[in-house]
C-alpha cells in the first residue's frame, strides 16, 4: 500500500488544469472515482469496471475558477462545481472545497472557504474520501480509505446513519460499490443502510433508475440484485421484483449481453409462484415507466416480456423458429439472450435465432418478393383482403423460404 500514486495515469488536460490552479496560488487535489479505482487496481491487481473520473478539488471559489479558464460550464455552480473544457471540448469537473450546511436527504446547501479535510469529511464512503496531490502524488486519506480498499470494505465516513440521512442516494451507491468491487459492507454501515432503505421514496425516480443501471453495468447481475434484495431496497423501488426468488438471480448472469435494460426485462419476465412476471407485459412496462426509463426502453422491455411469455418453439424445427422470430422480430435477439432456464435447449435456441437472423431469410412482410402493388397489378382487388393475402404469403414463406420468388408468390396469391 506504500506504492506511489501513478500520476502518469491522469490525462494531460486534467494535469494542465491542476497546474494552472496551483500556479495561481490555489490549493488543488485530485479526487473522484478514478482515484479510488486506480488504488483498487494497485491493491488487488485487477482493474474494476471504471465507475468514475479524475476530478479536481480546490480552494478556489467557483468565480475564481471561471476567471482562470476561458471555457467553462457552470454545471453545479451552486454546489461549487464548474466544468472546465479542454481543447477538444472535453469537460473536467473542478469543485471548490465545501461542507454541508443543511440537507434534506435529496439536496444540500453548502458553504465554501473550508479545508480539504472538511471537504473529504462530507463524502459518503471512506474509499471515496481520498485525495491525491497533483505534484507529489501524496495521498490525503484522513478516514483510512486506503486501508478499507485493501481490505475490501465499504465503510461510511463518520457516522453511517448521518451520512445516509444527508443523501438517501448513498444507500444505493453503497450497494453499487459493494457489488462492483466484490466488497463487504462494514457491519455498522450495513445496519444503517438497511434502516434507511424505507426512506428511498424521497429520491427522484431518475436517480434511482440511474443507480440501478450503474449497478447492473458495473457488477455481476446476481450480486447486485442480491444486495438490493437483502438490504430491503427492492421492496421500496422495485416492488415488482421484491418476491423474485434467489434462484432467479443466478439466471440473470446467463443473460447475454449483460446490458441493463435487457437484464431488467429478464428479471421482470421471471415467472414463479407468488411472483407475477411472464404474461404481464403491462406490469413490466408500468414498472420501468415509473422509474422514468425512456419510451424506447419501456417499449423494449414490454416487447421482450411478451416474447418470453410466448411458447418456446421447437429448436429443431426451423420453421417454428422462424415464426417465433417473425412474431417478435424487433426484440428477437434480445429475447433469445434472455430466455429463462426453463426453456428447453436454451443454448441451441439462441444459436438458432442468431443463425436465422444472419441468414437473410424472409421474416416479415417487407422481406417478401411482392408487395400490395404487385398483387393489384396481378388483378387482386384493393382492400383489406389484400393485406390478408400478404399475410398468407408470409406464412408460406416462413414455412419454406425457397418460395419467396415473385413468380411463385403471385401464383400462390391468384390461386386462392
**Inside any domain, residue 271:** no
Residue 309 is assigned to a structural domain of this protein: no
Residue 142 falls inside a structural domain: yes
Residue 347 included in any domain: no
Query: How many CA atoms are closer than 13 Å to the CA of 268, on its beta-carbon side?
Result: 29
81 domain residue, yes or no = yes
Q: Residue 51's pLDDT is what?
A: 56
Q: What is the pLDDT of residue 275?
A: 42
Q: The C-alpha cell of 415 is what?
A: 390461386
Q: List residues bridging with 28 in a β-sheet.
A: 58
pLDDT at site 31 = 96
In a domain, 383, yes or no: yes
Of 254, 250, 320, 311, the C-alpha closest to 278 is 311
Please classify residue 22 by burial: count the beta carbons closer than 10 Å to its beta carbon, then call 0-12 exposed, 13-18 middle and 19+ buried.
Answer: middle
385 contact partners, CB below 8 Å, separation of at least 6: none
Question: What CATH number does the domain containing 5 carry?
Answer: 3.30.460.10
Q: Out of 127, 151, 175, pick the residue that ends a domain.
A: 151
Q: Is the pTM of this model over 0.95?
A: no
- The domain containing residue 53 runs over which residues? 1-151
Element containing residue 17 per DSSP (H, E)? helix 12-23
**Structural domain includes residue 13:** yes
Nearest residue to 69 (alpha-carbon basis) of 43, 51, 94: 94
| pLDDT at res. 3 | 67
pLDDT tens-digit map of 223-250: 999 999 999 999 999 988 887 887 778 8
Task: Classify residue 46: in a domain, yes or no.
Answer: yes
Rounded CA-CA distance 253/233 in Å is: 20
Q: Kindly give the parts of the chain with pLDDT less than 50.
A: 1, 105, 272-279
Residue-level pLDDT at 79 = 87
The last residue of one of the domains, among 151, 169, 192, is 151
Q: Which of 129, 151, 173 is the last residue of a domain?
A: 151
How many domains does the chain divide into? 2
Amino acid at each position: 500500500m506504500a506504492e506511489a500514486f501513478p500520476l502518469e495515469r491522469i490525462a494531460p488536460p486534467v494535469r494542465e488544469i491542476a497546474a494552472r490552479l496551483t500556479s495561481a496560488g490555489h490549493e488543488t487535489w485530485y479526487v473522484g472515482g478514478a482515484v479510488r479505482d486506480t488504488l483498487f487496481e494497485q491493491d488487488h491487481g485487477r482493474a474494476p469496471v471504471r465507475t468514475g473520473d479524475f476530478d479536481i478539488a480546490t480552494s478556489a471559489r467557483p468565480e475564481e475558477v471561471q476567471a482562470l479558464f476561458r471555457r467553462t460550464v457552470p454545471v453545479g455552480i451552486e454546489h461549487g462545481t464548474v466544468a472546465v473544457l479542454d481543447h477538444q471540448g472535453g469537460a473536467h469537473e473542478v469543485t471548490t472545497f465545501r461542507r454541508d450546511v443543511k440537507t434534506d436527504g435529496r439536496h444540500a446547501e453548502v458553504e465554501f472557504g473550508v479545508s480539504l479535510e472538511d471537504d473529504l469529511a462530507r463524502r459518503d464512503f471512506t474509499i471515496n474520501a481520498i485525495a491525491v496531490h497533483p505534484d507529489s502524488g501524496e495521498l490525503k486519506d484522513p478516514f483510512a480509505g486506503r486501508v478499507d480498499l485493501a481490505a475490501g470494505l465499504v465503510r461510511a465516513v463518520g457516522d453511517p446513519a448521518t451520512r445516509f440521512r444527508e443523501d438517501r442516494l448513498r444507500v444505493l451507491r453503497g450497494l453499487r460499490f459493494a457489488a462492483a468491487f466484490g466488497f463487504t459492507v462494514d457491519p455498522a454501515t450495513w445496519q444503517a443502510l438497511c434502516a434507511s432503505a424505507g426512506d428511498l421514496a424521497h429520491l427522484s425516480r431518475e436517480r434511482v433508475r440511474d443507480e440501478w443501471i450503474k449497478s447492473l453495468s458495473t457488477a455481476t447481475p446476481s450480486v447486485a440484485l442480491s444486495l438490493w434484495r437483502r438490504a430491503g431496497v427492492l421492496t421500496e423501488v422495485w416492488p415488482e421484483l421484491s418476491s423474485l426468488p434467489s434462484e432467479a438471480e443466478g439466471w440473470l448472469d446467463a443473460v447475454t449481453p449483460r446490458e441493463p435494460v435487457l437484464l431488467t426485462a429478464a428479471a421482470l419476465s421471471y415467472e414463479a409462484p407468488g411472483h407475477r412476471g411472464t404474461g404481464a407485459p403491462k406490469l413490466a412496462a408500468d414498472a420501468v415507466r415509473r422509474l422514468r426509463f425512456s419510451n424506447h426502453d419501456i417499449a423494449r422491455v414490454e416487447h421482450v416480456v411478451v416474447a418470453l411469455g410466448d411458447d418456446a418453439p421447437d429448436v429443431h424445427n426451423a420453421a417454428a423458429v422462424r415464426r417465433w422470430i417473425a412474431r417478435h422480430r424487433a426484440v428477437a435477439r434480445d429475447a433469445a439472450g434472455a430466455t429463462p432456464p426453463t426453456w428447453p435447449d436454451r443454448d441451441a435456441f439462441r444459436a438458432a435465432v442468431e443463425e436465422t437472423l444472419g441468414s437473410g431469410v424472409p421474416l416479415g412482410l417487407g422481406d417478401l418478393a411482392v408487395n400490395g402493388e404487385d398483387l393489384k397489378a396481378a388483378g387482386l382487388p384493393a382492400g383489406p383482403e389484400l393485406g390478408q393475402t400478404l399475410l398468407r404469403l408470409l406464412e408460406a414463406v416462413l414455412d419454406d423460404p425457397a418460395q419467396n420468388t415473385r413468380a411463385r408468390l403471385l401464383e400462390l396469391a391468384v390461386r386462392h
